[in-house]
Amino acid sequence: MIKPLSDHVVLETVKEEKKKGSIILPETVEKERSEIGKVVAVGQGKLDDNGKRVPIDVKKGDTVFYRKYSEHKIKDGDREYIVIKGEDILAVK
Amino acid sequence: MIKPLSDHVVLETVKEEKKKGSIILPETVEKERSEIGKVVAVGQGKLDDNGKRVPIDVKKGDTVFYRKYSEHKIKDGDREYIVIKGEDILAVK
Amino acid sequence: MIKPLSDHVVLETVKEEKKKGSIILPETVEKERSEIGKVVAVGQGKLDDNGKRVPIDVKKGDTVFYRKYSEHKIKDGDREYIVIKGEDILAVK
Amino acid sequence: MIKPLSDHVVLETVKEEKKKGSIILPETVEKERSEIGKVVAVGQGKLDDNGKRVPIDVKKGDTVFYRKYSEHKIKDGDREYIVIKGEDILAVK
Amino acid sequence: MIKPLSDHVVLETVKEEKKKGSIILPETVEKERSEIGKVVAVGQGKLDDNGKRVPIDVKKGDTVFYRKYSEHKIKDGDREYIVIKGEDILAVK
Amino acid sequence: MIKPLSDHVVLETVKEEKKKGSIILPETVEKERSEIGKVVAVGQGKLDDNGKRVPIDVKKGDTVFYRKYSEHKIKDGDREYIVIKGEDILAVK
Amino acid sequence: MIKPLSDHVVLETVKEEKKKGSIILPETVEKERSEIGKVVAVGQGKLDDNGKRVPIDVKKGDTVFYRKYSEHKIKDGDREYIVIKGEDILAVK
């Protein structure tokens, strides 16, 4: 199992279902979009100046929206995951 | 329902009504303009150094002006929302 | 009425009267100039690390000089205002 | 009278007298030069984290050297002044 | 033996085994990938504002994923190592 | 006399004597070189968060090496001086 | 003798011995390499917010790996030294 460090969060990629009749957005609009992922593991949180952990407000199984381009890819055997920082999570679905 | 994290705020886009006889501003002027949105959900606020939440001074239903280009788009089913940080809100209408 | 948030200040544009016989300055000189505005509304101030508001030293009606290019335009019905941060105010006239 | 805010200082431009026989420095050398001004008004100083003002170590009438390109120009009627931050003052003559 | 300073961590390079039938990813995708290393030595941690060491949550022998391009190479005799900062470790395998 | 403010230090330029038989270094190597100056006056030091001055560890007459390109030139009558920040001093000779 | 200030460290260059049969690395690989030096003198350490010195964990005679491009060259008579900051030291050999 992969254990994220400090304020990192490990995610699985979530593919958005394409709705019938949905409009294909041109590339320039796509760029402003955020990404969606499913939380696999959550770090203990960064250490603050008093030596206490700053909790990250998501838990395993949450579907989260995160800032595009903030991600790192890691690979465990055949499976590929995304690692982001807690602060790059915008919202929980 | 989408739950914004930390100091994030979820907004719905607000279309400004065009007044009869209003002057169409050229592109260069438009760029300095701020955007308008309606608050849908407000995060708990960032954790400060003492572990307390920093409140965000807007509530659900408020119409807010926010810094252009600070936004991220997220999509919940068919609906599209804007996510910004509390600090990018300039004023409440 | 527009209510500025945190350390924001709402201004009305002030047109400088052109004096008879005043010299028209070339564009390169103009760029270093500051802008002038009249204070319409003042935010409560930013929250400091102890949870207290940092006051902004201007009040409604003050004519202020502010750093050019720090401004955002907002529009309330037909009226257009400028929003700046308190720290971008250079001096009060 | 113009009242500078926070850590700002209002200056009058000082023209350096050209000495007889002084060498005219080429443009590239001039660029590293600092500017000279006479203090007209001094702000109360920035608020520190404890809510106290950080004093600025110059007083009205001082001739100061300041970092070039840190200045903003403001105009009060016919008179033009320079506004800089206290931290951009290098030395007092 | 090489002793990392402050918040630095010394690693040995880990070569990922290529699986039979695995797909060769094109260069643009590879760029977003993180790197894998095996911990050889861990620094004492950075000194915080109270003069205490901030611990680094990895130990000798751990296999870690780290941010690409954060590494420095050092050479001890014939052996080559990687030095990174503790904060550039994303996760432990 | 010129009085440096805060964490500024006033220096006189020191010309390095060229030794007989010394090798002239090409331009690219010269660029990494530091500069040498003689201390003329030392500021009181920056105010820290507790309102105390942070002392600068050099005194009048010291020959110091300082970071190239950190300097500002000021002129007092016919004499030209260099102003740098205390933190840009690398070492005392 | 040269006395480094604050968090600076003075080093002598160390030439790595080239082993028989060692492979010459191409330029692109060399660029990621760190540099090696021998500690000649260590500064007292930076002053922290409480007015105490932050110690630098190396001593005279240590062989250290340091971040390439963080160095400044200084010259004392015929001898040339390297000055770096303590935080640019990666590890002690």
Block residue for tokens 């807010």: B64
pLDDT digits (tens, 9 = 90+) for E53-70: 999 999 999 999 999 888
Q: C-alpha G78: how far from its chain's center?
A: 19
Radius of gyration of chain G (CA): 15
Sequence-ordered list of residues with C-beta below 8 angstroms from that of D58, at least 6 positions apart, any chain: D9, D39, D42, D64, D86, D89, D92, F5
- As given in the structure block, the two tokens for residue G17 are 């011995």
From E49, E71, E83, residue closest to G91, measured CB to CB: E83
Q: Which carries the bigger pLDDT value, residue G8 or residue F24? A: G8
Among D46, D72, D75, the residue to mutate for chain C (most C Cβ within 10 A)? D72
Which subunits have 3 or more CB–CB pairs within 8 Å of chain C?
B, D
The 3 state secondary structure assigned to chain B is CCEECCCEEEEEECCCCCCCCCCCCCHHHHCCECEEEEEEEECCCCECCCCCECCCCCCCCCEEEECCCCCEEEEECCEEEEEEEHHHEEEEC
Q: What is the CATH number of domain F8-15+28-92?
A: 2.30.33.40
E6 or E24: which leads in pLDDT: E6
In tens, the pLDDT along F60-77 reads: 999 999 998 888 999 888
Question: Is residue C6 pLDDT above 50, yes or no?
Answer: yes
Q: Is the pLDDT of residue A77 over 90?
A: no
Whether ipTM tops 0.85, in short, is no
Residues E1-14+33-87: name the CATH superfamily: GroES chaperonin (2.30.33.40)
Residue C43: phi and psi, rounded to 5, are -65, 170
Collect all residues of chain C within an 8 Å Cβ-Cβ radius of residue B54: 47
For residues E54 and E15, which has the higher predicted lDDT (pLDDT)? Answer: E54
Q: Would you place residue A76 in the very low, low, confident or very high pLDDT band (cuts 50, 70, 90)? A: confident
Structure confidence at residue F31 (pLDDT): 42
pLDDT digit string (tens) for F47-59?
A: 988 888 999 999 9
**Check whether domain G8-14+33-92 has CATH 2.30.33.40, yes or no:** yes
Average pLDDT value for residue range A63-76: 91
Q: How many CB atoms lie within 10 A of CB C80?
A: 13
Chains C and F, touching by 3 or more CB pairs within 8 angstroms: no
Residue B46, chain C, CB below 8 Å: the answer is: no
Average pLDDT over residues G47-60: 91
Report the length, in residues, of chain B: 93
Give me the pLDDT at residue B51, please. Answer: 85
Q: Which residues contact G43 (CB under 8 A, 6 or more apart)?
A: G3, G4, G5, G6, G7, G8, G9, G56, G86
What is the number of other CB atoms lying within 10 angstroms of the CB of residue A66?
Answer: 25
C-alpha span between C35 and C69 (Å, rounded): 9
- pLDDT reading at G17 higher than 70: no
Interval A12-34 mean pLDDT: 57
| pLDDT higher than 50, residue F78 | yes
Please, which residues bridge with residue F36 across strands? F65
d(CA D83, CA C84): 18
pLDDT of G33 reads 66
pLDDT of E41 strictly over 70: yes
d(CA G64, CA E74): 10
Tens of pLDDT, residues D29-55: 444 568 999 999 999 999 988 888 999
Write the CA distances from B32 to B93, C52, C70, C72, integer angstroms: 18, 31, 10, 6
Instruction: Tell me the residue type at F78.
Output: D
User: For residue E68, how many C-alpha atoms fall within 13 Å in the half-sphere facing its CB?
Assistant: 11
F26 lies within 8 A of chain D by CB: no
Contacts of G78 in chain F (CB under 8 A): 19
In Å, how far is B10's CA from the nearest CA of chain A? 8
Give the separation between CA B93 and CA B63, rounded to whole angstroms: 6
D90:F71 CB<8 A: no
For residue A53, how many other CB atoms are within 10 A of its CB? 13
The alpha-carbon radius of gyration of chain B (Å, integer) is 15
Beta strands in D1-93 (DSSP E): 3-4, 8-13, 35-42, 63-66, 72-76, 79-85, 89-92
pLDDT of amino acid E33:
66
In terms of Cα–Cα distance, which of F62, F53, F54, F49 is closest to F89? F62
> What's residue G6's pLDDT?
96
Find the largest Cα–Cα distance for chain C: 54
**pLDDT score of B83 more than 90:** yes
The CATH number given to B8-15+26-92 is 2.30.33.40
- pLDDT, residue C7, reads 96
Ranges of residues in chain D whose predicted pLDDT is under 50: 22, 24-31
User: pLDDT confidence of C70, banded at 50, 70, 90?
Assistant: confident
Q: Closest residue of A to B76, CA-based?
A: A93
**Calculated CA dihedral for residues B89, C2, C3, C7, nearest 10 degrees:** 60
Q: Which residue has the higher pLDDT, B50 or C38?
A: C38
Contact A3 E92 (CB under 8 A): yes
Is there contact between G and F if contact means ≥3 C-beta pairs under 8 Å? yes
The CATH superfamily label for domain A8-15+33-92 reads: GroES chaperonin (2.30.33.40)
Q: If we measure between CA atoms, which residue out of E68, C5, F65 comes closest to residue G10?
A: F65
Residue C16's pLDDT band (cuts 50, 70, 90): low
Whether residue B16 lies within 8 A of chain C, CB to CB, comes out as yes
Span of A32-36, C44-48, G60-64 with lowest mean pLDDT? A32-36
Is F24's pLDDT higher than 80?
no
Among candidates D34, D49, D93 on the partner chain, residue whose Cβ is nearest the Cβ of F49 = D49
What's the full length of chain C, in residues?
93
Residue G49 is predicted with a pLDDT of: 80
pLDDT range class, residue A16, cuts 50, 70, 90: low
Q: Are B42 and B1 in contact (CB under 8 A)?
A: no
Within 13 Å of residue A25, how many CA atoms lie on the same side as its CB?
12
Predicted local distance difference test score (pLDDT) of residue F16: 60
Q: What is the CA radius of gyration of chain F?
A: 15
Domain D8-15+31-92 is in which class? mainly beta
Q: What's the gap in Å between the CA of B77 and the closest CA on chain C?
A: 31
* pLDDT in the model for residue C17: 52
Distance from CA of E21 to the nearest CA of G (A): 30
Compute the nearest-CA separation of A57 from chain B (Å).
7
Domain ranges of chain B: 8-15+26-92
Q: Please tell me whether residue G58 adopts helix, strand or coil conformation.
A: coil
| Percent of chain C residues past pLDDT 90, beyond the cut | 59
Tell me: pLDDT of A30 over 80. Answer: no
Q: Which residue of C has its CA nearest to B87?
A: C6
Where does the pLDDT of residue B29 fall: very low under 50, low under 70, confident under 90, or very high at 90 and above? very low
| The two three-digit tokens of residue D22, written as one number | 């002084």
